Amino acid sequence: MSKIKIVNLQKSFGDFTAVKNSNLTINDKEFFVLLGPSGCGKTTTLRMIAGLELPTSGEIYLGEEEVGMLRASERDIAFVFQLFALYPHMNVKNNLSFPLKMQGYSRSEIKTRVEEAAKLLRIDHILNSNISSLSGGDRQRVALGRALVRRPKAFLMDEPLGTLDAEFRELMCLELKKLHIDIGATTVYVTHDQLEAMSLADRIAVMDGGEILQADEPSVIYNKPATKFVASFIGSPGMNFISIDQGISNEQSTLNIEGTNFNIPKQYEISKGKKNSFGIRPENLSLTNEGGLKGSVFGVEYLGSRKIVTIKTNFGELKVKTDISTSVKINENVQVKPSNDNIIIFDGETDKSLKSEFMNKWQK
Ligand SMILES: Nc1ncnc2c1ncn2[C@@H]1O[C@H](COP(=O)(O)OP(=O)(O)OP(=O)(O)O)[C@@H](O)[C@H]1O
Ligand SMILES: [Mg+2]
């Protein structure tokens, strides 16, 4: 079993706390993504799991074993850095066998493992090639192979596709996903790219300011964001918010904002504060001729099959995802209304979703 569990994990550098009281359970064979903006503590969390950084407090379990104070080399975990960290003067085969030689494996064992990894990664035809002659994609595969030959309990990857161009990233994303399905090793993958996270992950932990805000399947993170930050960080573009200066009672089923009715989803906790905000994804808003929030068109972006129309209203800018055939002009007066009941209400003070079921489920 290579379940990874972190309990109340914390890391401070002097007065600054980079990782705050984190709790997570990463299941055996899971592809788990740590997602968040620059500086939110992703790498620090990963380095603590790897044993490259000691926690200030808290525990790390690999399987049933507490490994928090073990050295990296004692943890049986493979850390894949930016995937270009290869030995440029060695050929592919030597790059793959080097880590095993260092660990004192026998020649025949090394041969078996290198061949197996090369076959899995489809680089068996270039084993004798020099690294410098390889394409970016092949280099990535070799770097993965270097981790693979060790047959680690878990893989840790820190933005491994970071330096690749967009087209290539997409391709390598598919490769990684395929490889993960083939070898089924527990993987913790760090990225700040939400699309990458959504396409790769079994589950995602969204981090900000050293805290894990939510950890769940991509569809739950998208549809039931626990906080405003998660709601705006996920999605392209992220969720819209409409701030209101009023509380919402438990029985209330609609709220009228400037003449537009918003249906309040059931099972909400009562908001204690007097300020709240409505969160609505751009695809759940539509343009209308009457009965909507009034505004003017500020921008139009084409996204292939859809259009994003940005509208300036009294409640700030709202982004609406519309059909490509919708015709609007800059500065044109339009109205915006919700096209369904897909609304999340966030507490004005805590920025947390009032739907308690979204919260803290992963920490149990
Ligand atoms: N050795 C260190 N000493 C002091 N501060 C550090 C150290 N390592 C990280 N930090 C700080 O801790 C915070 C989290 O850093 P970390 O590298 O974990 O972020 P990240 O989420 O990986 O960001 P990025 O997406 O930019 O890689 C940052 O503010 C960073 O400056
Ligand atoms: Mg980082």
User: Does residue 18 have its Cβ closer than 6 Å to ligand 1?
Assistant: yes
- CA of 82 relative to ligand 1 center, distance in Å: 16
Taking CA atoms only, the protein residue closest to ligand 1 atom 17 is: 43
- CA of 16 relative to ligand 1 center, distance in Å: 10
Peptide bond connecting 237 to the previous residue in cis, omega within 30 degrees of 0: yes
The neighbouring-strand residues paired with 353 are 346
User: Does residue 34 have its Cβ closer than 6 Å to ligand 1?
Assistant: no
Q: Which atom of ligand 1 is nearest to the CA of 37?
A: 25
Give pLDDT, residue 363.
40
**Closest to 188 measured CA to CA, from 67, 36, 35:** 35
Q: Which atom of ligand 1 is nearest to the CA of 13?
A: 4
Q: Which atom of ligand 1 is nearest to the CA of 19?
A: 14
**Closest to 122 measured CA to CA, from 174, 48, 70, 190:** 174
Where are the CATH 2.40.50.140 domain residues in the chain?
228-363
Homologous superfamily of 228-363: Nucleic acid-binding proteins (2.40.50.140)
Give pLDDT, residue 156.
92
- CA of 150 relative to ligand 2 center, distance in Å: 24
Tell me which DSSP letter residue 352 carries: B
Rounded to 5°, angle at Cα 163 from 162 and 169: 70
For residue 212, what are its two tokens? 């894990």
DSSP string, 28-69: TT-EEEEE-STTSSHHHHHHHHHTSS--SEEEEEETTEE-TT
Residue 335 makes CB contacts below 8 A (sequence gap 6+) with 287, 288, 289, 290, 291, 292, 293, 294, 295
Give pLDDT, residue 364.
35
Q: What share of the chain is helix, strand, coil (3-state, %, to 5)?
A: 30, 35, 40
User: Does residue 47 have its Cβ closer than 6 Å to ligand 1?
Assistant: no
Taking CA atoms only, the protein residue closest to ligand 1 atom 22 is: 43
Taking CA atoms only, the protein residue closest to ligand 1 atom 20 is: 39
- CA of 69 relative to ligand 1 center, distance in Å: 21
Where are the CATH 3.40.50.300 domain residues in the chain?
4-223
- CA of 205 relative to ligand 1 center, distance in Å: 17
Residue 174 backbone phi and psi in degrees, to 5: -60, -45
Q: pTM for the complete prediction?
A: 0.89
Tell me which DSSP letter residue 87 carries: -
* DSSP β-ladder status, 65-66 and 77-80: unpaired
**Closest to 239 measured CA to CA, from 192, 288, 277, 191:** 277
For residue 150, what are its two tokens? 């060790």
Do residues 200 and 217 make contact, with C-beta atoms less than 8 angstroms apart?
A: no
Which of 44, 54, 159 to probe ligand 1 with, by most ligand atoms within 8 A of CB? 44
- CA of 38 relative to ligand 2 center, distance in Å: 7
Q: What is the pLDDT along the chain (364 residues), one digit of tens a residue?
A: 689 999 999 999 999 999 999 999 999 999 999 999 999 999 999 999 999 999 999 999 999 999 988 988 888 887 776 555 788 889 999 999 998 998 899 999 999 999 999 998 889 999 999 998 988 778 888 888 888 888 888 889 998 887 677 777 887 788 888 888 888 889 999 999 999 999 999 999 999 999 999 999 999 999 999 999 999 999 999 999 999 887 777 777 888 888 888 888 775 666 666 788 889 999 999 999 888 999 999 999 998 889 999 999 999 999 999 999 988 999 999 999 999 888 898 888 889 887 755 544 444 3
Which residues fall inside 5 Å of ion ligand 2, going by CB? 43
pLDDT tens for 110-158 read: 999 999 999 988 899 999 999 989 887 788 888 888 888 888 888 899 9
Give pLDDT, residue 252.
79
Q: Which atom of ligand 1 is nearest to the CA of 192?
A: 25
DSSP string, 151-201: --SEEEEESTTTTS-HHHHHHHHHHHHHHHHHH--EEEEEES-HHHHHHH-
Give pLDDT, residue 255.
84
CATH number of 4-223: 3.40.50.300
Give pLDDT, residue 350.
87
pLDDT tens for 305-325 read: 899 999 999 999 999 999 999
